[in-house]
Amino acid sequence: MTTRLNWPLACAFVAAALIASGTAVAQTVTDPPPSTAASHSAGALSNDDDDDAAVRPLEPDFALVNLPTTLPLPVHGGNFRLTHRFNGNLRSGTFGENATNLFGIDEGATIGFEYRFGLARHVEVVAYRTNFNRTIQLSGKYDAFHQTASMPLGFSAVVSVEGVNNFQDQYASALGASISRHVFDRVQLYVVPMWVHNSAAATGVTRDTGFVGVGGLVRVLPTVYLAAEVSPRVAGFVIGDAEYGFSVETRVGGHTFALTFTNAQGTTFAQLSRGGFPSSLYLGFNLSRKFFN
């Protein structure tokens, strides 16, 4: 299910969200002082400094494009995320034709709202709603460990359940993990194995799908990143092409903004398991704001 979007109103909404969040009472993540940034330039912490609230320069957000990262959230901290995937297919028509509808923005959008909360140390709970079939996804994430001087990888376990029509029908559950490693002080790599139960819920037949998302992020400037991901299915129910996406992302204090390009408009785990559309590319964005108490 999609909605028509008025572009001026969308711009006004984003501007209002930035202004409102900038004046929020909650304490917000800020850029680290130069000494701290230098000591954590590789994105890893020392063994004695495994602090969930610490700025991780190579992990600006909780999602790469769609796939989950290993970025932790401190106890009682919060994060709001807004996702847009515009409906205009950039691979359909000429450049001029795409320009007339502002590269798909005039075609409406699939929109999602997410809030995550740090329930306990290394434990996050997440509520996400997208207007695609009015889907609500409830999930949890356990950040088991992070990359340090003695730990070569970061590892987070993820579990979720989602349902369409405001969590009333076509339930699908997912279990997986996000595994990360930084290299060369500028590159963060991810492997995200995921199993989704009832991935073909809309057909009325119970099927499962396994996919392994892989992706990475390159820090090209202190607060500017290039990211890419792909999620090939490795077992079970498979339709469409493997989901893929890439983005240009910037971080300003507690804000992150990513301009995304994907072949799918789905953003929940079950939607990602169903893949993307052949010969399709959609403009979109992710906008998030961190709130730490």
At residue 143 the predicted structure's pLDDT band, cuts being 50, 70 and 90, is very high
Average pLDDT on 276-286 reads 94
pLDDT for res 140: 98
Sorted by where each starts, the structural domains of the chain and their CATH numbers stand as 7-291 (2.40.160.40)
- The Cα diameter of the chain in Å comes to 57
pLDDT at 28 over 70: no
Instruction: Give strand ranges (E) for the chain.
Output: 78-89, 109-120, 123-130, 135-145, 154-163, 169-183, 187-197, 208-221, 224-231, 233-236, 243-252, 255-262, 282-291
Greater confidence, 99 or 63?
63
Model confidence pLDDT, tens digit, residues 95-127? 887 788 888 888 889 999 999 999 999 999 999
At residue 79 the predicted structure's pLDDT band, cuts being 50, 70 and 90, is very high
Structure tokens at 281: 């590319």
Model confidence pLDDT, tens digit, residues 197-217? 999 999 989 999 999 999 999
Model confidence pLDDT, tens digit, residues 230-242? 999 999 999 999 9
Give the total residue count for the chain: 293
Task: State the sign of the Cα–Cα–Cα–Cα dihedral 220, 154, 56, 229.
Answer: positive
At residue 293 the predicted structure's pLDDT band, cuts being 50, 70 and 90, is low
pLDDT at 38 over 70: no
Greater confidence, 50 or 152?
152
